[in-house]
Amino acid sequence: MSKLNRAWHDANPMPANPTLDQRVEWHLAHTAHCGCRPIPRLVLEELARRGIAVPETTR
């Protein structure tokens, strides 16, 4: 895990009551721009179901 990217988090809050699509999109962006914590198991399972490779943190 990397250090928290406060600026990214402030500019990109998770929507209230997010849909699964919103959660997947947010966590993919989060991993690319911050990666301060791992992707939750349920989102990882959904990525696998959709055939989306799990990205590595770029920070």
pLDDT in tens, 22-52: 999 999 999 999 989 999 999 999 999 999 9
Q: Which two tokens stand for residue 42?
A: 């349920």
Residue labelled with tokens 């988090």: 9
Binning pLDDT at 50, 70 and 90, where does residue 57 land?
low
